[in-house]
């Protein structure tokens, strides 16, 4: 693979390769290309579930398939990208239980990302969740009243959010606690939904499968964010060999993935309007958890910081022993709701920034966050299906009761 720099990707080439992997049913049946790490580095059954979801979403004959239309995003109703993603896991679960291929419904509005008529916003950022043939057929059927009456195509029902497919037995019973709160490992009572939502996060089993490959557009956004954050360091290192961490993920330093300072900690901070649902935790408490990591990994000094709060960015400057990296976007001051903040910076930039933060955080070696926030919940799910289940997650508060 050719790089414009150690921290950048050749997005056109990567997009072509990802498309090839995603259309190769033979290799996908045996080894889904979007799974990192060994079996024990992921949640139980991750490879099998990801393979089965892909096959479910790519039936051999779309003319015989039934479809579930799930309208992923409505501007006026959204309470944040993380909540929308968790909802999608429920949509995919319902589709599998009903033996329907899931498709995110088309509104027919003009897409502000491309200027073209959109089939769904999701495809701006990730490969489509189903085959082109099935998406085309689902859209055609969605406009036919007869197809709806016969049950060939149906809309997602709002009472199906928490459904978990039983196709794979109860693999969540083999899950070990990997989340730490107040210095203790936490056992979750709703591991079945946590397992399923994590699976859904890649393909979104349910989100992993939906974000299995970034689009060329998102790849370019990632390049821009990496260059703004890491570009100066790469310029200094360009004629020097990269040091390998003796503690964490030395193999990743030798891989073809874009370079980033390692070891890297992802810290997600959520405050302000979230006080309606949880106790607000100061940034200092997040840094206390990060400092505790230094006892085990003395080389840890780099942080990927994701937050909407300008106050947090200013507070980070007080921690001189740490190097902070982050996206360059307008952040919020004051107590406003997430939907208001997203509207303030513009929906396109809100989604751009969210998914760049998601994937770069997913590349980090260690995670600190706030599981009272749905976004940290999504990051934790991505960790558990991205080859880092044993790296753990340090949280400043418990999982939001609405997610249990």
E strand or H helix at 359, and its extent? helix 347-363
Minimal CA–CA distance to 326: which of 318, 334, 335, 317?
Answer: 317
pLDDT at 252: 39
Question: What is the CA angle 178-180-184, rounded to 5?
Answer: 110
pLDDT at 119 over 50: no
Tokens of 188: 């979750």
The whole model's pTM is what? 0.83
Tokens of 372: 């009272």
The better pLDDT of the pair 33, 310 is held by 310
Q: Please state the rounded mean pLDDT for residues 3-28.
A: 74
Residues 35 and 56: their CA atoms lie apart, in Å, by 17
Most confident of 107-111, 342-346, 382-386: 382-386
Q: Please state the rounded mean pLDDT for residues 254-273.
A: 82
Q: What is the mean pLDDT of the chain?
A: 80
Q: Please state the rounded mean pLDDT for residues 143-167.
A: 83
Does the CA dihedral 112-117-120-124 come out positive or negative?
negative
pLDDT at 307: 94
pLDDT at 356: 95
CA atoms in the 13 A half-sphere facing the CB of 33? 15
Supply φ then ψ for residue 209, to 5 degrees. Answer: -70, -25
Spell out the domains of the chain, with CATH numbers in brackets: 11-180+187-209 (no CATH), 216-239+253-403 (3.40.50.11350)
pLDDT at 146: 95
Q: Is the peptide bond before 263 cis (omega within 30 degrees of 0)?
A: yes
pLDDT at 280: 87
Q: pLDDT digit string (tens) for 182-239?
A: 999 887 665 677 777 676 554 445 566 667 888 899 999 999 999 999 998 888 876 6
pLDDT at 239: 61
Q: Please state the rounded mean pLDDT for residues 20-48.
A: 78
Q: At what angle do helices 347-363 and 81-97 cross, to 10 degrees?
A: 80
């Amino acid at each position: 693979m050719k790089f414009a720099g150690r921290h950048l990707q050749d997005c056109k080439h990567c997009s072509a390769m990802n498309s090839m992997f995603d259309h190769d049913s033979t290799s996908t049946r045996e080894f889904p290309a979007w799974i990192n790490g060994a079996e024990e580095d992921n949640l139980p059954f991750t490879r099998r579930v990801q393979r089965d979801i892909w096959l479910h979403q790519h039936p051999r004959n779309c003319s015989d398939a039934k479809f579930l239309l799930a309208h992923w995003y409505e501007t006026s109703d959204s309470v944040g990208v993380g909540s929308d993603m968790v909802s999608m896991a429920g949509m995919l679960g319902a589709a599998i239980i009903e033996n329907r291929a899931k498709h995110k419904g088309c509104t027919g509005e003009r897409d502000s990302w491309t200027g073209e008529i959109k089939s769904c916003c999701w495809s701006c950022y990730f490969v489509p969740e189903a085959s082109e043939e099935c998406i085309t057929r689902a859209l055609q059927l969605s406009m036919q009243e007869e197809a709806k009456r016969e049950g060939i195509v149906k809309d997602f029902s709002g009472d199906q959010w928490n459904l978990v497919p039983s196709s794979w037995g109860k693999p969540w019973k083999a899950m070990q606690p990997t989340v730490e709160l107040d210095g203790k490992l936490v056992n979750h009572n709703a591991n079945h939904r946590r397992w399923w939502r994590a699976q859904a996060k890649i393909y979104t089993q349910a989100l992993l499968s939906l974000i299995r490959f970034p689009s060329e557009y998102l790849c370019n956004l990632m390049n821009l964010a990496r260059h703004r954050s890491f570009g100066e360091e790469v310029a200094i290192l360009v004629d020097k060999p990269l040091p390998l961490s003796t503690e964490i993920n030395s193999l990743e330093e030798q891989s073809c993935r874009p370079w980033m300072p390692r070891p890297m900690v992802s810290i997600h901070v959520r405050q302000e309007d979230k006080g309606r649902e949880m106790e607000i935790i100061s940034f200092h408490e997040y840094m206390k958890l990060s400092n505790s990591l230094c006892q085990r990994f003395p080389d840890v000094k780099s942080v990927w910081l994701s937050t909407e709060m300008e106050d947090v960015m200013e507070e980070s400057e007080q921690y001189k022993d740490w190097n902070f990296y982050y996206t360059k976007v307008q952040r919020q001051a004051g107590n406003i709701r997430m939907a208001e903040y997203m509207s303030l910076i513009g929906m396109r930039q809100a989604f751009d920034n969210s998914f760049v933060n998601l994937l770069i955080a997913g590349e980090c070696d260690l995670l600190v966050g706030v599981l009272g926030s749905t976004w940290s919940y999504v990051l934790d799910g991505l960790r558990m299906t991205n080859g880092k289940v044993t790296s753990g997650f340090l949280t400043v508060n418990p999982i939001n009761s609405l997610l249990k």
